Amino acid sequence: MKIEQFQLELQKYNIELTSKQISQFERYYRLLIEWNEKINLTAITDKDEVYVKHFYDSLSAAFFFPIQEQSSLSICDVGAGAGFPSIPLKIVFPHLKVTIVDSLNKRITFLKELANALELENVHFYHDRAEIFGRAAEHREQYDVVTARAVAKLSVLSEFCLPLVKVNGHFIALKGSSGNEELEEGRKAIEILGGQVDKIYPFTLPEENSERTIIQIRKVKNTPKKYPRKPGVPIKTPLN
């Protein structure tokens, strides 16, 4: 996807990029490739593919959830990796208060350098396991929106993310073609952890037409105190 097409596709969702934002995405791409030679951030390095499979795909969270309509919104991105979806969202919606947690310190180092280079404000980084982070009083049930992309199956992901969501807040999972299948497997976990499936949005990425699914889950009650369980347990023994 060329930059011009990237802009046109976003305009379909009433997202207009400024020249500064276009420059930020260009800088993001250059830094991603530069750092990818030192640490493993992504297997996708072709510029057109990065724009559609990483940048556009990350922004799809805002196609179906009214991020741009809310003047103050706190977002936590669990297992952000190379910054997806939170950094593209922050570029396009500068008002967002973003918290990023990742278990690999090298990735956190990259993300700090990236945020500095892109002059992003109100972005906070934590090197931690999601299971530990979700038990910390200063983060537990403190976020309006929690996002995750390409981290784990939904049954596991729900245990990582729902403890961080405020009651009446949302967990937004960015999934591929297996989204509906994962949802069926994860419904019990979602309910146990205080969530309720709100909406499901299937769509295809432009140009390459691969299937994507946005699963929007509302937090309807507090997560029981025993969740998340100890590091490693949710993956070994999912709640399903």
pLDDT averaged over 10-residue windows placed end to end, the chain, 240 residues: 94 95 97 94 93 95 84 90 95 95 95 97 96 96 93 90 97 90 92 95 89 95 96 91
Query: Residue 174's pLDDT is what?
Result: 93
What CATH number has the domain bearing residue 223? Answer: 3.40.50.150
* Strand (E) or helix (H) holding 200: strand 195-204
Residue 214 near residue 201, CB atoms below 8 Å: yes
Spatial CA neighbour of 145 closest among 124, 160, 162:
162
Query: Residue 58's pLDDT is what?
Result: 95
Query: Residue 80's pLDDT is what?
Result: 87
Query: Residue 68's pLDDT is what?
Result: 76
d(CA 111, CA 116): 8
Query: Residue 209's pLDDT is what?
Result: 84
Query: Residue 130's pLDDT is what?
Result: 94
Query: Residue 113's pLDDT is what?
Result: 97
Based on the structure, what is the number of domains in the chain? Answer: 1
Give bridge partners of residue 101 from the DSSP assignment. 78, 126
Q: Cite the annotated binding site for S-adenosyl-L-methionine by residue number.
A: 79, 84, 130-131, 149
Query: Residue 178's pLDDT is what?
Result: 85
Q: Cite the annotated binding site by residue number.
A: 79, 84, 130-131, 149
Domain boundaries, position 172: 3-236
Q: Which residues does 121 contact at the CB level (< 8 Å), separation at least 6?
A: 94
Strand order in the sheet with 195-204: 123-127, 97-102, 74-78, 143-149, 165-175, 211-219, 195-204
